[in-house]
Structure 1
Amino acid sequence: MKIGLFFGSFNPIHIGHLIIGNAMAENTDLDEVWYVVSPQNPFKKNKSLLHEFDRLEMVERAISDNFKLKATDIEFKLSRPSYTIDTLTVLAEKYPRHEFVLIMGEDNLVQFSNWKNHDKILEYYSLYVYPRPNTPDHDFKAHPKVHFYNSPLLDISATFIRQCIKERKSIRYMVSEPVEKYIELKGFYLQ
């Protein structure tokens, strides 16, 4: 199987994440898209980051009705911060019959040369990139392992959602209903 890996904090997972994952699963040659819940992104220091098991639970609830989308906790067992190259190595060993590709926004592609072993990632893996408006020029546009796919984009952020919750405003339609109910049940992001 050909698997697209969509890495993120998903703090919380929102409709924008779901649209991108579904668009990649439906409009590319991918068999499945796996949401890789990252315990700690090396580029982000976030004090409002929920425990990884709570974020995994929200991802699982958000995608439970789509057989092409899966959630994985593979990075929970790795050293922290987690680096994509290490995760890819573990996945390749664990699932030798699968072909893995990375899904990312073009805004992340601009910073890709800062990633640990980015050259090795491009040597062994393809990148499926969804364009983002106002992305500056970068060196990866013509790379043979970088493929661009259109996806509907929403200007929505987890930061905005967390701020709405803190201010006790509705997050309806920004997250799926199961995620909204879980956040309410647990009282997440109120502080």
Structure 2
Amino acid sequence: MKVGLYFGSFNPVHIGHLIIANHLAENSDLDQIWFVVTPHNPFKKKSSLLDNYDRLELVHLATKDYFKLTPSDIEFHLPQPNYTINTLVHLQEKFPKYDFSLIMGEDNLKSFHKWKNYEVILENHDIYVYPRLSEGKVETQFDKHKRINHIDAPIMELSSTFIRKSIKEGKDIRPMLPKHVWEYVDEMNFYR
């Protein structure tokens, strides 16, 4: 089985995440997309994050009606801060028959050369890159790499940061979140 790993803080998960993941599930050779909820990204401040299990619950609510989309808390059980290479090694040991690939926005590909052990990741895993509007260039070594697949997915410029800010300001952002996610966020008074 070919599994695409879609890493993120999902703080909160929104329709942009679902559109990209579902597009890949329906238009690539990936059998499943796992939403890997990251407890702490080494490049982000931890303070603005909702509790790990609250964010995981939001992903459960967002994906429950999609057969090919699955939430994953695998990184909750690994030492922090965690790096993608460690997660990949752990998953390969736990699920030796699965073929794991990474899903990332083009903006992340631009800094991929700074990732811990990125060469090892590229040696052993395919990468599916969806388009993003962003500054700068992709390193030439990644331009035509056989492991890097550029996906013609919709460009989604919706951000969790914008959603959190809008909720804090009392704006109606219901169209930006899956219905069950909005209901839970509203009920729990998240981001206010």
For each residue in 1:31-73, what CA deviation from the matched residue of structure 2 results, as whole angstroms up to 9, or x when unmatched? 0000000000011114210011000000010010000000000
TM-score (structure 1 length as normaliser): 0.97
Q: What CA distance in whole angstroms lies between the structure 2 residues aligned with 1:82 and 1:27?
A: 30
1:105-120 matches, within 5 Å, as 105-120=105-120
User: In structure 1, what is the equivalent of residue 57 of structure 2?
Assistant: 57
Q: What CA distance in whole angstroms lies between the structure 2 residues aligned with 1:87 and 1:112?
A: 16
User: In structure 1, what is the equivalent of residue 127 of structure 2?
Assistant: 127
User: In structure 2, what is the equivalent of residue 143 of structure 1?
Assistant: 145
Q: Which consecutive unaligned segments of at least 5 residues does structure 2 have?
A: none
Identity %: 53
Following superposition, which runs of at least 4 residues in structure 1 exceed 3 angstroms of deviation? none
Match of 1:184, SS state, is helix
Q: 1:3: how far off?
A: 0.3
Confirm whether residue 184 of structure 1 aligns to residue 186 of structure 2. yes
Q: What CA distance in whole angstroms lies between the structure 1 residues aligned with 2:132 and 2:181?
A: 25
1:31-42 matches, within 5 Å, as 31-42=31-42
The worse-fitting range, judged by mean Cα deviation, of 65-74 and 130-139 is 130-139
State the number of aligned residues: 190
Q: 1:120: how far off?
A: 0.6
Q: Is contact 1:164–1:170 with CA below 8 Å preserved after alignment?
A: yes
TM-score (structure 2 length as normaliser): 0.96
Q: What CA distance in whole angstroms lies between the structure 1 residues aligned with 2:184 and 2:54?
A: 9
The RMSD of aligned alpha carbons is 0.9
Match of 2:67, SS state, is coil
Q: 1:137: how far off?
A: 2.2
Q: 1:134: how far off?
A: 4.2
1:140-179 matches, within 5 Å, as 140-179=142-181
User: In structure 2, what is the equivalent of residue 75 of structure 1?
Assistant: 75
1:3-14 matches, within 5 Å, as 3-14=3-14
